Amino acid sequence: MKKTFALLALIGILLAQPTYAAGELPGTLIGDGLLHSWTGASPHYTLVDETPCNGLGDYIYTYKVGNMDSFIVQSSATNTIHITKITITPCASKAVPLGDSYIQVGYKLQNGWLWIMSNPISLYGTTPTNIAPTSFNVDMIKSNDSNPIHVVVKYVSGIAGARVSGMKVDLEWHYE
Protein backbone atom coordinates (compact mmCIF):
# COMPACT_ATOMS: atom_id res chain seq x y z
CA MET A 1 0.00 0.00 0.00
CA LYS A 2 2.78 2.36 0.98
CA LYS A 3 4.60 1.46 -2.25
CA THR A 4 1.52 2.23 -4.34
CA PHE A 5 1.18 5.59 -2.67
CA ALA A 6 4.82 6.40 -3.32
CA LEU A 7 4.42 5.42 -6.95
CA LEU A 8 1.31 7.58 -7.33
CA ALA A 9 3.15 10.48 -5.69
CA LEU A 10 6.03 10.03 -8.09
CA ILE A 11 3.68 10.02 -11.07
CA GLY A 12 2.05 13.17 -9.68
CA ILE A 13 5.44 14.89 -9.44
CA LEU A 14 6.34 13.87 -12.97
CA LEU A 15 3.02 15.14 -14.33
CA ALA A 16 3.54 18.43 -12.50
CA GLN A 17 6.76 19.16 -14.37
CA PRO A 18 6.37 22.22 -16.59
CA THR A 19 6.25 21.77 -20.31
CA TYR A 20 9.45 23.06 -21.83
CA ALA A 21 9.33 25.73 -24.46
CA ALA A 22 12.14 24.72 -26.76
CA GLY A 23 13.67 26.68 -29.50
CA GLU A 24 16.57 27.65 -31.60
CA LEU A 25 18.13 31.05 -31.63
CA PRO A 26 21.18 32.73 -33.04
CA GLY A 27 24.01 33.60 -30.74
CA THR A 28 25.43 37.07 -31.24
CA LEU A 29 29.13 37.74 -30.90
CA ILE A 30 29.50 40.61 -28.44
CA GLY A 31 33.20 40.71 -27.63
CA ASP A 32 36.66 39.24 -27.90
CA GLY A 33 37.57 36.43 -25.53
CA LEU A 34 40.91 36.04 -23.79
CA LEU A 35 42.51 34.07 -26.64
CA HIS A 36 43.59 36.63 -29.17
CA SER A 37 46.50 35.47 -31.35
CA TRP A 38 45.16 35.82 -34.90
CA THR A 39 45.83 39.00 -36.88
CA GLY A 40 43.23 41.69 -37.56
CA ALA A 41 42.11 45.10 -36.42
CA SER A 42 40.81 45.00 -32.85
CA PRO A 43 38.26 44.16 -31.69
CA HIS A 44 38.40 40.94 -33.70
CA TYR A 45 34.77 39.93 -33.15
CA THR A 46 33.58 42.79 -35.37
CA LEU A 47 35.44 41.12 -38.26
CA VAL A 48 33.58 37.81 -37.90
CA ASP A 49 30.11 38.77 -36.64
CA GLU A 50 28.14 39.85 -39.69
CA THR A 51 25.23 37.93 -41.23
CA PRO A 52 25.62 36.77 -43.86
CA CYS A 53 29.37 36.35 -43.92
CA ASN A 54 31.03 39.11 -45.98
CA GLY A 55 33.93 37.03 -47.33
CA LEU A 56 36.95 39.20 -48.01
CA GLY A 57 35.13 42.29 -46.67
CA ASP A 58 36.81 41.87 -43.27
CA TYR A 59 38.41 38.87 -41.60
CA ILE A 60 41.06 37.62 -39.21
CA TYR A 61 43.98 35.52 -40.44
CA THR A 62 47.01 33.63 -39.27
CA TYR A 63 49.87 31.53 -40.60
CA LYS A 64 50.99 30.23 -37.21
CA VAL A 65 49.83 26.72 -36.30
CA GLY A 66 48.34 26.65 -32.82
CA ASN A 67 47.02 30.21 -32.85
CA MET A 68 43.57 30.57 -31.26
CA ASP A 69 41.03 33.39 -31.22
CA SER A 70 38.03 33.27 -28.93
CA PHE A 71 34.79 35.22 -28.83
CA ILE A 72 32.04 35.91 -26.34
CA VAL A 73 28.52 34.92 -27.41
CA GLN A 74 25.28 36.34 -26.14
CA SER A 75 21.93 34.72 -26.74
CA SER A 76 18.80 36.81 -27.15
CA ALA A 77 16.98 34.81 -24.46
CA THR A 78 16.18 36.95 -21.45
CA ASN A 79 15.39 34.25 -18.88
CA THR A 80 17.45 31.39 -17.55
CA ILE A 81 17.79 28.84 -20.29
CA HIS A 82 19.17 25.35 -20.62
CA ILE A 83 21.30 25.08 -23.76
CA THR A 84 21.48 21.61 -25.27
CA LYS A 85 23.28 22.20 -28.55
CA ILE A 86 25.78 24.70 -29.96
CA THR A 87 26.35 24.77 -33.71
CA ILE A 88 29.31 26.73 -35.05
CA THR A 89 29.61 27.46 -38.76
CA PRO A 90 32.93 29.03 -39.69
CA CYS A 91 33.19 31.18 -42.82
CA ALA A 92 36.77 30.44 -43.72
CA SER A 93 39.39 29.80 -46.39
CA LYS A 94 43.10 29.36 -46.79
CA ALA A 95 45.23 32.54 -46.78
CA VAL A 96 47.28 31.55 -49.84
CA PRO A 97 46.38 29.09 -52.63
CA LEU A 98 49.12 26.47 -52.32
CA GLY A 99 49.20 23.79 -49.63
CA ASP A 100 46.76 22.39 -47.08
CA SER A 101 45.25 24.11 -44.08
CA TYR A 102 43.00 22.94 -41.28
CA ILE A 103 41.14 24.75 -38.52
CA GLN A 104 39.10 23.57 -35.57
CA VAL A 105 36.20 25.35 -33.92
CA GLY A 106 35.05 24.80 -30.38
CA TYR A 107 33.46 26.12 -27.24
CA LYS A 108 34.55 26.49 -23.64
CA LEU A 109 32.95 24.53 -20.84
CA GLN A 110 31.35 26.86 -18.33
CA ASN A 111 33.25 27.39 -15.08
CA GLY A 112 36.55 26.14 -16.43
CA TRP A 113 39.18 26.44 -19.09
CA LEU A 114 38.59 23.22 -20.99
CA TRP A 115 37.89 23.76 -24.69
CA ILE A 116 35.82 21.18 -26.56
CA MET A 117 37.03 21.17 -30.16
CA SER A 118 35.67 19.93 -33.50
CA ASN A 119 37.49 17.57 -35.82
CA PRO A 120 39.93 19.34 -38.14
CA ILE A 121 38.14 21.21 -40.93
CA SER A 122 39.88 21.38 -44.30
CA LEU A 123 40.08 24.82 -45.92
CA TYR A 124 39.79 25.58 -49.64
CA GLY A 125 40.32 28.65 -51.81
CA THR A 126 41.28 32.06 -50.51
CA THR A 127 37.84 33.69 -50.22
CA PRO A 128 36.10 32.78 -46.94
CA THR A 129 32.78 30.95 -47.36
CA ASN A 130 30.49 29.14 -44.93
CA ILE A 131 31.78 25.60 -44.40
CA ALA A 132 31.41 22.55 -42.19
CA PRO A 133 28.86 23.39 -39.48
CA THR A 134 29.84 21.53 -36.32
CA SER A 135 27.23 20.73 -33.66
CA PHE A 136 28.16 20.06 -30.05
CA ASN A 137 25.69 18.45 -27.66
CA VAL A 138 26.03 20.45 -24.47
CA ASP A 139 24.46 20.76 -21.05
CA MET A 140 24.69 24.41 -20.09
CA ILE A 141 22.60 26.62 -17.89
CA LYS A 142 22.74 30.26 -18.76
CA SER A 143 21.13 32.98 -16.72
CA ASN A 144 20.83 36.51 -18.07
CA ASP A 145 24.22 36.30 -19.72
CA SER A 146 26.01 36.22 -16.37
CA ASN A 147 27.93 33.20 -17.62
CA PRO A 148 28.38 33.79 -21.34
CA ILE A 149 29.30 31.22 -23.94
CA HIS A 150 32.79 31.37 -25.39
CA VAL A 151 33.59 29.98 -28.85
CA VAL A 152 37.01 29.59 -30.41
CA VAL A 153 38.75 29.01 -33.72
CA LYS A 154 42.18 27.37 -33.91
CA TYR A 155 44.59 27.06 -36.82
CA VAL A 156 45.50 23.46 -36.25
CA SER A 157 47.78 22.41 -39.12
CA GLY A 158 48.95 23.24 -42.62
CA ILE A 159 51.15 25.70 -44.47
CA ALA A 160 48.64 27.83 -46.40
CA GLY A 161 47.42 29.87 -43.43
CA ALA A 162 43.79 30.56 -42.62
CA ARG A 163 41.30 33.36 -43.03
CA VAL A 164 38.11 33.49 -40.96
CA SER A 165 35.49 36.05 -41.91
CA GLY A 166 32.56 34.64 -39.92
CA MET A 167 31.77 32.56 -36.85
CA LYS A 168 28.03 31.81 -36.99
CA VAL A 169 26.74 30.42 -33.71
CA ASP A 170 23.31 28.81 -33.32
CA LEU A 171 21.87 27.52 -30.05
CA GLU A 172 19.22 24.95 -29.18
CA TRP A 173 17.69 25.50 -25.78
CA HIS A 174 14.69 25.24 -23.50
CA TYR A 175 13.58 27.22 -20.47
CA GLU A 176 14.54 25.82 -17.10
Q: Give the residues lining the site for Ca ion (CB under 5 A).
A: 54, 58, 165
Contact status, residue 163 vs residue 92, Cβ threshold 8 Å? yes
Nearer to Ca ion, 81 or 93 (CB): 93
Shortest distance, position 136 Cβ to Ca ion, whole Å:
23
**Which position's Cβ is nearest Ca ion?**
165
Q: How far is the CB of 50 from Ca ion (least distance, A)?
A: 5
- CB 116 to Ca ion: min, Å: 24
Nearest CB to Ca ion, comparing residues 58 and 145: 58
Which one, 81 or 91, has the nearer CB to Ca ion? 91
